[in-house]
Amino acid sequence: MKPLRVAMLGCGVVGTEVAARIVDRSEALAERIGAPLELSAVVVRDLAKARPGIDESLLTTDAETAIADADIVIELMGGIEPAKTLITAALDQGSSVVTANKALLAAHYGELMSAADRASVRLEHEAAVAGAIPIIRPVGDSLAGDRIDRIMGIVNGTTNYILDQMDSEGWDFDRALSTAQELGYAEADPTADVGGHDAAAKAAILSSLAFHAPVSSDDVHVEGIEGISAEMVATAKDQGFVIKLLAVCERVAESPAGPGLSARVYPALLRRSHPLASVRGAFNAVFIEAEAAGELMFYGQGAGGAPTASAVLGDVVSVARRRVLGGRGQYERPFHEDSRILPISAITTRYHITLDVVDRPGVLAAVSEVFADEGASIELMRQTVGEVDEDEMQHAKLVLATHSNTEAALARTVERLGDLDVVRAVSSVIRVEGQ
């Protein structure tokens, strides 16, 4: 068959790896697809920049012409614009698109998928979530006949490395972060990672795909790990927990705001027996709870040039085979535009609260009264004697584990606990996920 022409937008670390594999593995890819792939153009911003291994005759700054001449477009530019305009143009002309652009998909998932469906082409994006881990296709295709109720994932390798080092080595946050930067796991400006924003974009994509609803990154409640201290990690370890930055996407049948969907990212406690608790270093994992399939977990490298290139090429082979064999566009079902995205205040969760209290009679009664007033309940209470402070007053650490309560009730409870005379400080508040 005549070769399928492939235009690539962007040529950074991942793009260079993808281009090299298309050329070096041309025969094997042609056998899998049923037609050869021909890299027709590589769109870059700066033609003068050296790109070892890339045929200079393929380099161009003219994205529109490159797209017009392509059967398949690989978008690796990142950002919202001009990526969105270029992808839309490619879809509208009938070219299938492969992208790793999580920011764009998190903002415009439903719109772009609908455009692909109208043109009867594919928009594949396996590399946008969890790198080389195959999660998008299993959720979108393999589990299409099932009902996914909940997804909980470690989808940012930088934060997982930091928290893992704090847990296993006893490091503080600053040391773990600086080491992650030295090893190349964290950027010079790590805000997107440690602030939870990278994970939030991935949570939006997973929610949109699993629940077939247009969930954007603006719908995701986000908290980062900047406030996690070595003491919090040590306390969690003593209680049989590990702290992980989790992306949680779920269907909620009942809440004060009614049924709906929830997408949230925050550091949370996991029992060490939970499968996600054993995910170490910069690895990622996604844990799915489905109605018929039950519990499933996908694990692997979530970042890096080679793993991400592997996911991109898997998508390229998929769309190329579909183009050779023929087939529909993206989905047979419409997006549920009226899906309710619930606020974090309506979610039911559990807390572990650590208080620095004055060690004197009446402390436990005062704390219990606040819980009772707010309709919250305590599952476990543990007190350890602390040191005598500069005023010669004995103080203690009080660790409270709550039963499931609404986020709003627990937030009010914590606020009132901080106002008690017997409470010197609310040392930490962290949610509990998993069983």
* Phi, psi for residue 96 in degrees, rounded to 5: -75, 150
Contacts of 148 (CB under 8 A, 6+ apart): 139, 210, 211, 251, 288, 289, 290, 291
Is position 407 annotated in a ligand binding site? no
Residues 210/133, Cβ–Cβ less than 8 Å: no
Is position 11 annotated in a ligand binding site? yes
Q: Which of 112, 143, 185 is nearest to 286 (CA)?
A: 143
**Antiparallel, parallel or unpaired: β 221-222 and 260-271:** parallel
Tokens 């295709």, residue?
A: 141
* Residue 203, amino acid: A
- Tell me, yes or no, if 202 is annotated catalytic: yes
Contacts of 228 (CB under 8 A, 6+ apart): 163, 166, 173, 243, 267
Tokens of 221: 């409640």
Rounding to the nearest 10 degrees, give the CA dihedral for residues 139, 142, 145, 149: -30
Beta-strand (E) ranges in 377-432? Answer: 378-388, 394-402, 405-406, 423-432
Task: Round to whole Å and give the CA distance between 370 and 362.
Answer: 13
304: phi > 0 → left, psi -120 to 50 → alpha, else beta; which?
left
* Phi, psi for residue 48 in degrees, rounded to 5: -80, -20
Q: Which of 215, 153, 234, 241 is nearest to 397 (CA)?
A: 234
Is position 386 annotated in a ligand binding site? no
Is position 12 annotated in a ligand binding site? yes
Residues 397/383, Cβ–Cβ less than 8 Å: yes
Is position 187 annotated in a ligand binding site? yes
DSSP of 329-353 = -S-SS---TTPPBPPGGG-EEEEEE
CA angle 85, 89, 90 (to 5 degrees): 120
Is position 102 annotated in a ligand binding site? yes
Active-site residue identified among 49, 84, 202, 237:
202
CB neighbours of residue 294 within 10 Å: 9
Is position 15 annotated in a ligand binding site? yes
Binding residues: 9-16, 102, 187
Please report, in range form, the residues annotated as the binding site for NADPH: 102
Q: Which residues are annotated as a binding site for L-homoserine?
A: 187
Q: Which residues are catalytic?
A: 202
